[in-house]
Amino acid sequence: MKCFQDKTVLVTGAASGMGKALTVRLTHLGAHVVATDVNDDGLLRLADDCAGSAGSLRAQRLDVTDKVAFTDLVEELAADGLDYLFNNAGIGIVKEVKDTTDEEWQRTMAVNQQGVLNGTLAAYDVMRRQGSGHIVNTASIAGLMPAPMLTAYAMTKHAVLGLSLSLREEAKVYGVKVSAVCPGIVETNIVGADQMQRLQLDGDDPFEFIRRKAHIKPITADQAAEYILKGVEKNQPEIVFPLHGRMAVASFRNMRKVWEVAVAGGLKVMRNEG
Ligand SMILES: NC(=O)c1ccc[n+]([C@@H]2O[C@H](COP(=O)([O-])OP(=O)(O)OC[C@H]3O[C@@H](n4cnc5c(N)ncnc54)[C@H](O)[C@@H]3O)[C@@H](O)[C@H]2O)c1
C-alpha cells in the first residue's frame, strides 16, 4: 500500500482496538503517524508496537471533545501537510433507552458525534487549502441499520454517516476525499470492563456469546485495520466489513421480517428472558 508511505496521518482513539491496529499498520507502511487518545498509558505502550517501522510515531494526548485542542493540533500539522485524518475514537453504551441516563446520552453524542465533527471541520479547512487529503470517519454498521440496546450509539453513528457521505460529495471539487468506516463486530475494548461484567448473556461475556450462541465470528482489530486501509486506498464511500456486517445490513434492507425475528430473539436473551 504505497499510498500511505511518507504521509502524515492523524489517528484518534489510537491507544486501543482499531485505532491502535491502524497506527501500528500505518507506521509499518512508512507513514508518519500522530497517534492521539485520552488513555495515556495506552499511548505510551504504542512505541513498542511501532518499533522498527519504516515510518514514525508521535503519541499525544487529545480528547476529541475538545474542539480547540483538536483544531490546534490539526493546524499545527498543516504546516507540513496533513494527508489523512482517521476519526476513530468512539464509545458504546449497551442499554435500553429507558435505562440510558442523560449523562450517557450527552457523553455518547460528545465523543461519537461532536468529536468526529470537530476533527472533520478542522481537517476539512486544512485539506481544502492544500487541495488534497482524506478524512476517514469511523461509523459502524449501526449507522446503516438499527441497533436496539445500542440506540444512543446508533443515533450517533447514523449522524457520522450523514456527515461523511454528504461532505464527500461537497468536498470533491476541493480535491478532498471523505470515507465512512462501517465495521461489524470487532473484538476490542469498546464494551469496557464494567459493561462486560454487567452484560452476561446466557453466562457468557458479549463476544463469547456472539461467537458461541449467535455463531458470528468477531474479527480482530488487526483484521479490521486491513479492511479499513484497503477501503481507504480504493477511496470507497462506505467501508463495510466483514461478511457478517455486510450480511446484517443486507438482511435489514432486503429481508426485514427475518431481520426482525432475529433481533427479537437477541433482545430476549439480553433481557434475560431467553
Ligand atoms: N468494536 C466494534 O465491534 C466496533 C464496531 C463498529 C464500530 N466501532 C467503532 O470503532 C471505533 C474504535 O473502537 P474500538 O472498537 O477500537 O474500541 P476501543 O475501546 O478499543 O478503542 C477506542 C479508543 O477511543 C478512545 N477514546 C474514547 N473517548 C475518547 C475521547 N473523548 N477522545 C479521544 N479518544 C477517546 C479510548 O480511550 C480507546 O482507546 C469507535 O468509533 C467504535 O464506535 C467498533
Is 229 among the domain residues? yes
Q: How far is the CA of 53 from the centre of ligand 1 (A)?
A: 24
**Catalytic position from the list 124, 153, 174, 227:** 153
Residue 274, pLDDT score = 59
Residue nearest to atom 8 of ligand 1 (CA): 140
The verdict on residue 253 lying in a domain is no
As for how many domains the chain has, the answer is 1
Torsional sign, CA 48, 231, 180, 196:
negative
In a domain, 162, yes or no: yes
Q: What is the pLDDT of residues 212-259, one digit of tens each?
A: 877 899 999 999 999 999 999 999 999 999 999 999 999 999 999 999
| The pLDDT value given to residue 97 | 97
Query: In which domain, by residue range, is 85 found?
Result: 2-190+218-245
Q: How far is the CA of 88 from the centre of ligand 1 (A)?
A: 6
140 falls within a domain: yes
| C-alpha cell recorded at residue 38 | 485520552
Minimum-distance ligand 1 atom for the alpha carbon of 141: 6
Residues 6+ apart with CB under 8 A from 192: none
Pocket test for ligand 1, best of 85, 108, 188, 194 (most atoms within 8 A of CB): 188
Give the number of other CB atoms < 10 A from CB of residue 40.
11
pLDDT higher than 80, residue 15: yes
**Within a domain: 52:** yes
Could you tell me if residue 137 is inside a domain?
yes
Active-site annotation holds for 153:
yes
Residue 19's contacts (CB-CB under 8 Å, 6 or more residues apart) are 11, 12, 13, 35, 37, 86, 88, 89
What confidence tier does 271 reach under pLDDT thresholds 50, 70, 90? Answer: confident
pLDDT band at residue 138 under the 50/70/90 scheme: very high
- CB neighbour class for 193 (10 Å; exposed up to 12, middle 13-18, buried from 19): exposed
Whether residue 274 is contained in a domain is answered as no
**How many CB atoms within 10 Å of residue 272?**
9
pLDDT at position 212, please? Answer: 80
Pocket residues: Cβ below 6 A from ligand 1: 12-13, 15-19, 37-39, 42, 63-65, 88-92, 111, 115, 138, 140, 183, 185-186, 188-190, 221
User: Residue 121: what pLDDT?
Assistant: 98
* String of DSSP letters for 161-183: HHHHHHHHHHHGGGT-EEEEEEE
CATH number of residue 156's parent domain: 3.40.50.720
pLDDT tens for each residue of 170-215: 999 999 999 999 999 999 999 887 777 777 777 778 888 888 877 8
**Cβ atoms 88, 18 nearer than 8 A:** yes
Q: Pick the closest to residue 87 from 180, 17, 152, 198 (CA basis).
A: 180
First to last CA, the chain: 46
pTM: 0.97
According to the model, what pLDDT value does residue 203 have?
Answer: 74
Is 203 contained in some domain?
A: no
